Structure 1
Amino acid sequence: MLFIVRMVLLSVHFIVASLVGLVVCLVRPFNPDNSRIAGRLYASLALPILGVRVQSERLPVRPAPCVYVANHQSNYDLFVMGGIIAPRTVSLGKKSLKYVPLFGQLYWLSGNVLIDRGNALRSRQSMAKTTETLRHRNTSIWFFAEGTRNPSGQLLPFKKGAFQMAIAAGVPIVPVCASSYMRHIDLNRWNSGTVLIEALPEISTTGLGPEDVPTLLAQCHAQMQQRIRELDARVVQGDLSADT
């Protein structure tokens, strides 16, 4: 019963937050800071409604452009990670998102990059344009490098795009790890559970070329997998104190 009540309240909140976000975006369309504002609009009430506590450590905020790489678990990531989006950070999404009522239009007007995965040429053009954004517009890019939702806690192989872009633009990779909340939260409980999120030290791409993509990808994947396991162990053990 509690789950059903939460889903009803979450749906209402989602619609209201989308409408407010659209108003903001219509005033300043395609501003790269719109994503941060929209993320906070979605997360602000959604987390209390869900009964989920998010504890963030070493938040992914840096003054210069970078490529954020995060693990992707479910559609709830919008609420779980929405509150930690750094200023002037946009993401890549499927072109079809543009047609999702309210959210799609907000996503597009927030300055996020829409990729046509069914058209290789247009996809490459979009990636090239995004690389130029990293180089010259003081804007960071957020990637879910697995390319699909994965609640298992065991990272899927990463796609190369984020790492190719980071090397081409000469910007660092910042891994962002979230504990495997889909395995630990229970939305039928008043206190559903806690999600631990941590940004790892940035990985430099200085001096790297296209031939270094596999090594960079493997390094990031290994670091994130290890840290996600550690975060999961802390959740299971109830060790939710700040890890310094």
Structure 2
Amino acid sequence: MPTLDKCSWPFALLVTSMLILIAPKICSNSKIRYYGCYVCYVFYVSLIPMLLSPYFLLRARDITNLLLVGKILKNLNKFIGIKWTVRNEHILSKNRGAVITANHQSIFDILGMFNMWETMGMCTAIAKKELLYVPPFGPAAWLAGLVYIDRRNPKSALQTLKSNTRLIRQFKAKLWVFPEGTRNKTGEQLLTFKKGAFRLAIDTKGPIIPVVFSPYYFINGRDRTFERGEIIISVLEEIPTDGLKPEDTDDLMRRTHDLMSKEYEKLKKEVEGKCRREISFERT
């Protein structure tokens, strides 16, 4: 049986990569696109950090590594077919430490982050500890500066967050957190928030920057369809934490949840109206 010699492996990997990359772009069958887009996403989000690992080893745990990853992986958007429209992006560009709180609906939220990473500058994100043990992405992302927490152990998770306060205070970095704690699979309304992000913001005196993603109206997990579409990302005005104490955590969390929920409802109505107009246009 013929085998690939050592020189053939890079070529085989290149060909495989190109096929996986262009398949979602050229395929017209929505169900095939559905699986193709997910495969493309998972493949490249694993491949790129793995290839960059030797570079990360030279700068282990330096969060500027993630800026490089973002610059490369944001190009996936043009192949998968997601258009990101960011409103009030200038709020993210300020050179100061902050806690970014965003709603979480899909693994493609990460592409939205990559799309804004150059604007955010010094930034890292919180991820569940289980991902650390998913090679090659988990270990490579850890080397790049991603922060893992144990969601099943609130005390441990809070301690991990506290151990990274220097990123906000000393390096003026932004820490991206999904305060719902898990993906919101229904998308009807925002899930209840966890306290960690808000306690961290109070401890570091860094502002909360709420970020709201509109619903993925063009992805239907039940019917396994994945059309091309647009996600609106609305960046809300920062919420200052100066003068707040630990006992104000619940109030800060509630205020942030209320603001993000109202914005999410507005975006949901907007994209639902856009979807109806597109269907009406297709029928005429």
Question: Matches of 2:51 and 2:115 in 1, distance apart?
Answer: 16
Who wins on radius of gyration, i.e. which is larger? 2
* Aligned counterpart in structure 2 of residue 55 of structure 1, from 85, 100, 112: 85
- Counterparts of residues 162-177 of structure 1 (less than 5 Å): 162-177=197-212
Count of paired positions: 236
TM-score by length of structure 1 reads 0.86
Question: Matches of 1:23 and 1:120 in 2, distance apart?
Answer: 33
Question: Matches of 1:8 and 1:142 in 2, distance apart?
Answer: 25
| Structure 1 residues 212-233: Cα deviation after superposition (integer angstroms, max 9, x where no partner) | 1111111111111111111122
| Structure 1 residues 160-218: Cα deviation after superposition (integer angstroms, max 9, x where no partner) | 1111000011110000011011x4436846x5111000110000001111121111111
Deviates more, 1:159-168 or 1:124-133: 124-133
Question: Matches of 2:271 and 2:139 in 1, distance apart?
Answer: 36
The verdict on how the C-alpha distance between 1:236 and 1:25 changes in structure 2, with shifts beyond 3 A counting, is same
Match status 1:209 vs 2:245: yes
Q: Could you say which residue in structure 1 is the equivalent of 2:106?
A: 74
| Structure 1 residues 5-51: Cα deviation after superposition (integer angstroms, max 9, x where no partner) | 43444444334323344244233221122223223322212x22221
Displacement of 1:3 in angstroms is 2.8
Match status 1:200 vs 2:200: no
- Unpaired runs of 5+ residues, structure 1, are 240-244
Question: Matches of 1:207 and 1:57 in 2, distance apart?
Answer: 29
One-letter code aligned to 1:177 = V
Give the match's secondary structure for 1:238. helix
Q: Could you say which residue in structure 2 is the equivalent of 1:91?
A: 125
Question: Matches of 1:121 and 1:144 in 2, distance apart?
Answer: 17
Q: Could you say which residue in structure 2 is the equivalent of 1:242?
A: none
- Unpaired runs of 5+ residues, structure 2, are 1-31, 276-284
TM-score by length of structure 2 reads 0.75
Give the match's secondary structure for 1:83. helix
* Aligned counterpart in structure 1 of residue 157 of structure 2, from 123, 130, 135: 123
Question: Matches of 1:98 and 1:75 in 2, distance apart?
Answer: 16
One-letter code aligned to 1:54 = W
Question: Matches of 2:191 and 2:34 in 1, distance apart?
Answer: 29
Identity among equivalent pairs (%): 32
* Aligned counterpart in structure 1 of residue 66 of structure 2, from 30, 35, 40: 35
Displacement of 1:79 in angstroms is 1.8
Deviates more, 1:212-221 or 1:114-123: 114-123
- Asked if 2 retains the 8 angstrom alpha-carbon contact of 1:39 and 1:78, the reply is no
Q: Could you say which residue in structure 2 is the equivalent of 1:102?
A: 136
Question: Matches of 2:36 and 2:131 in 1, distance apart?
Answer: 27
Displacement of 1:120 in angstroms is 5.8
Give the match's secondary structure for 1:91. strand
- Asked if 2 retains the 8 angstrom alpha-carbon contact of 1:150 and 1:156, the reply is yes
Deviates more, 1:12-21 or 1:50-59: 12-21
- Asked if 2 retains the 8 angstrom alpha-carbon contact of 1:69 and 1:143, the reply is yes
Give the match's secondary structure for 1:146. coil
One-letter code aligned to 1:35 = L
Question: Matches of 1:14 and 1:147 in 2, distance apart?
Answer: 21
The structure whose residues are more often helix, as a share, is 2
